[in-house]
Structure 1
Amino acid sequence: MTVSSRSSHVIGMWLMVGVAFVFATHDALSKSLIFVLPVIFVAWARYLIHTLLVTSVIIREKSRAAFHTKRPWLHFLRAVFLLGDSLTFLFGLTHVPLAESTALVFLAPAFVTILSPLLFGIRADRLQWVSVIVGFIGVLVVINPASDGFSLWMLFPLACAFCFAVYQLLTQLAGESDSPSVCSFYVGVFSTALLSLVVPFFWVSPTLTQWLMLLVLGSLGLSAHFLISKSYRYASSSALAPLGYLQIVFATLYGMLFFGNYPALFSVAGMALICFSGLLVYGRRTAAALSN
């Protein structure tokens, strides 16, 4: 690796650290908002701001191609699962600590391994199945169903992980025919449209401070996705993906600092198993890429 390529690699890694921090900040701000505003309203405002920002960028860059898609039904389906991802996570946050919620969502790679054969005919090898088993053991440790503290609300982050896995696979499918800007635009439009059908039933009048927080929330979500795309220009996905697990660390710190949630020892052990499960998946992808 040359000096220039090494420095480029480091830039990409620091950008991915930024992604983990921004996503954790986004989730912490979301948890603060849902204490005072309805979940549906928060989600609607977040996607409305996302759509307005993406549309303004497209108009400024005069990229008319971003308004044309070959498979609108696929983007609609992506929006359905993205909303499932967002809403189950937000509803879960009303009762589940931020650190545990974030860790459970990182079971998504295991669901991707399970679902990939259905959509792409890609069969998982033995190591990938081991990673799935380890991930689910980690989930059992985190939620601890035999304890008095177990709550069915713990199932919401798991549902979020499943929806996010399907969303990732559908996005991969959409990327075969549409550009990232097209995918980003339409998922925002469809998500906002679907939430707009129900948000009147949950309408409130936020204060100026709350509107500013909602604006920051939408900007953080868009910024994280922008940083992801930038980071992949500097380093490979196999090098960057494991750094995404720093989000669990940042979420734990936010939970302790702002919500007084200190994870129990068994929760920390379960989070470590979930991280290890994901690292096995990415380690296997790296090995496969090097062998090709």
Structure 2
Amino acid sequence: MTGAVTGHRPENLPVAAGLTTAAFFCVALVGALAKVSGQYTSTGVLLLFQNLICFLFIVPVVLRNGPSSLRTSKIGLHVLRAVAGTACWYALFFAIARIPLANATLLTYSAPLWMPLIAWLVTRQRVSTATWAGAVLGFAGVVLVLQPQGHSFDVGELSAFAGAILLAVAMMSVRWLGATEPITRVLFYYFLLSTVLSVPIAVLDWEPIPSQALGWLIGLGFAQLASQILIVLAYRYASAEKVGPFIYSVIVFTAVLDWIVWGQVPSATTYLGMVLVIGGGLVAVRARRAPTAPEEAPR
């Protein structure tokens, strides 16, 4: 892909990889902070705090650039990204309260397995056999994590799995937006729309916020803000498919946090599922597609 066609900076995979890894370290922190905060209040309140703090932070930045900086011809993509992203975070927070943090994160961040399928559905570019093979391998790992002891699906596991599909949609929309939209505009519309979407959810799911929860909630918001800035920057240096493998760093970060803070050690079956998901994802997102026209955003 060339800058002339897509509007991206010249590709720089090492920079994109570093930014993506840093972004998903922040995502691991979001998950850990959400698990702690969830002991004090509801999932809806977590979601509202996360988005509102980020929105309040980005507003002064946008105002310095003037109202003209918000003009966009991609409002549909902004809405798609906000709806998918908000729903994904709700699904993940819901799951974190019910199953181990590492399991919830692994299932949700199997999203790269879905990205080639979404790209194919939207752009109709042919996807290689190796990519499909990697996806199948990864899905086998997802099944192992969903049923590590052969029990029926837990609602938390199903929620995390649904979050993976939503996350894949959100990540592809970020890629398409990054082709033409400046980072401040992308973040402004995401946090604005996500905050608006979070209000009715929080009202329906409202629980009082004790004073001891405020510090954790503020930390949650700033960790989310850092992750969003870093991932948008990363997609300016490489495609979503190419930086996809580095998303799996969040699984390592989260597993370490889950072990250190909550003493959760994955079972042997879950470890095998993790290996299959990561291995399948690496194959799926790194396999070369047949030469086609450059990827374009949906119109």
Q: CA deviation at 1:106?
A: 2.3
Q: CA deviation at 1:112?
A: 1.4
Q: CA–CA distance in 1 between the matches of 2:15 and 2:166? A: 31
Which residue in the other structure is 1:139 paired with? 142
Alignment of 1:260-271 (within 5 A): 260-271=263-274
Unaligned runs of 5+ in 2: 1-11, 293-299
Q: Which amino acid aligns with 1:83?
A: T
Are residues 82 and 234 of structure 1, via their aligned partners in 2, closer, same or farther at CA, if it must alter by over 3 Å? Answer: closer
1:46 lines up with 2:50 in the alignment: yes
1:237-279 Cα offsets, whole Å, 9 max, x none, are: 7775433312111111111122221100110110111111111
1:104 lines up with 2:120 in the alignment: no
Alignment of 1:81-92 (within 5 A): 81-92=84-95
Which residue in the other structure is 1:197 paired with? 200
Q: CA deviation at 1:110?
A: 1.7
Q: CA deviation at 1:148?
A: 3.4
Unaligned runs of 5+ in 1: 1-7
Are residues 234 and 69 of structure 1, via their aligned partners in 2, closer, same or farther at CA, if it must alter by over 3 Å? Answer: closer
Alignment of 1:133-282 (within 5 A): 133-144=136-147, 147-148=150-151, 150-230=153-233, 240-282=243-285
- Name the TM-score, length of structure 2 as normaliser: 0.83
Partner SS, residue 244 of structure 1 = helix
Are residues 206 and 111 of structure 1, via their aligned partners in 2, closer, same or farther at CA, if it must alter by over 3 Å? Answer: same
Q: CA deviation at 1:120?
A: 1.3
Q: Give the helix-richer structure, 1 or 2.
A: 1
1:217-239 Cα offsets, whole Å, 9 max, x none, are: 11111112223355567888777
1:182-213 Cα offsets, whole Å, 9 max, x none, are: 22211211111122134233333323332222
1:126 lines up with 2:129 in the alignment: yes
Q: Tell me if the contact between 1:106 and 1:274 (Cα under 8 Å) persists in the aligned partners.
A: no
Q: CA–CA distance in 1 between the matches of 2:43 and 2:120? A: 34
Query: Percent identity over the alignment?
Result: 26
The count of corresponding residues between Structure 1 and Structure 2 is 281
Q: CA deviation at 1:157?
A: 1.0
Q: CA RMSD in A?
A: 2.7
Q: CA deviation at 1:156?
A: 0.9
Q: CA–CA distance in 1 between the matches of 2:235 and 2:121? A: 27
Q: CA deviation at 1:177?
A: 4.8
- Name the TM-score, length of structure 1 as normaliser: 0.85
Q: Which amino acid aligns with 2:55?
A: T
Q: Which amino acid aligns with 1:159?
A: A
Are residues 188 and 236 of structure 1, via their aligned partners in 2, closer, same or farther at CA, if it must alter by over 3 Å? Answer: closer
